[in-house]
């Protein structure tokens, strides 16, 4: 992180700490810090990175705020064949809904940390995976496919709803259609 970025991070933390119960759109933060238009995409990427690192919180509707300890919980992710999942905690708390787009790289059975979104009255708790703590499995069985530019495995497990991309050097000479 360069000096300018460190300064921006400090300014963002200052704004969020001054109003800890409020969330901000990226443009609101950029305006308060006076980020120029050409620098805005890099600023937005910096906010995403800070959220992924758990240094600030990203809430629904692309809003950012302070990370509150109570907003992050750990448990086992149970994925449905439709692609969404539920976080089940050891404490037996209410399940947390995780949409497919908020699952990140987590797979069925993984132990994950989930950042909770602000609770909406009448709706179940919802969140997004911010970290895979422990993988439930090391191997995934599926059908190998190769295209001109990349290779991937289409998993047999219906609860894994996305293909697993394979780097060209890691194909182990597998042939298209092999298991």
- Cα 37 to chain centroid, rounded: 27
- Comparing 6 with 27, the larger pLDDT belongs to 27
DSSP class of 149: S
Report the sign of the C-alpha dihedral through residues 37, 42, 26, 103, in that order. Answer: positive
Helix runs in 98-152, H state only: none
Domain spanning 69-134 has what CATH number?
A: 2.40.50.140
User: Cβ contacts of residue 71 below 8 Å, gap of 6+?
Assistant: 57, 115, 116
- Comparing 20 with 14, the larger pLDDT belongs to 14
pLDDT bin (cut points 50, 70, 90) of residue 32 is very high
Sequence spans of domains, the chain = 3-65, 69-134, 139-179
The tokens for 134 are 């422990």
Upper half-sphere CA count for residue 140 (Cβ side, 13 Å): 23
Q: In CATH terms, are 3-65 and 69-134 the same topology?
A: no
Residue 123 scores a pLDDT above 80: no
- Residue pair 41/76 in contact (Cβ under 8 Å)? The answer is no
Q: Output the pLDDT for position 22.
A: 82
Q: Output the pLDDT for position 31.
A: 93
In total, the chain counts a number of residues equal to 179
Q: What is the pTM of this model?
A: 0.58
| Mean local confidence (pLDDT), 22-37 | 91
Domain spanning 3-65 has what CATH number?
A: 1.10.10
User: Distances from the Cα of 50 to the Cαs of 1, 11, 64, 98, in angstroms?
Assistant: 12, 13, 10, 21
The tokens for 74 are 């750990």
């Amino acid at each position: 992180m360069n000096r300018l970025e460190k300064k921006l991070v400090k300014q963002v933390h200052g704004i969020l700490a001054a109003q800890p119960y409020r969330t901000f759109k990226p443009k609101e933060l950029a305006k308060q810090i006076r980020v120029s238009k050409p620098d805005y995409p890099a600023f937005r990427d910096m906010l995403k990175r800070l959220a992924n690192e758990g240094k600030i919180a990203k809430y629904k509707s692309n809003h950012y705020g302070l990370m509150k300890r109570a907003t992050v919980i750990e448990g086992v992710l149970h994925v449905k064949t439709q692609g969404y999942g539920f976080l089940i905690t050891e404490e037996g708390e209410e399940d947390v809904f995780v949409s497919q787009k908020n699952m990140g790289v987590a797979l069925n059975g993984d132990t994950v940390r989930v950042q909770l979104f602000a609770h909406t009255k009448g709706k179940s708790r919802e969140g997004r995976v911010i970290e895979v703590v422990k993988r439930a499995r090391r191997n995934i069985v599926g059908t190998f496919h190769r295209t001109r530019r990349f290779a991937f495995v289409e998993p047999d497990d219906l609860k894994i709803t996305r293909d697993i991309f394979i780097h060209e050097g890691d194909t182990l000479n597998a042939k298209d259609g092999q298991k």
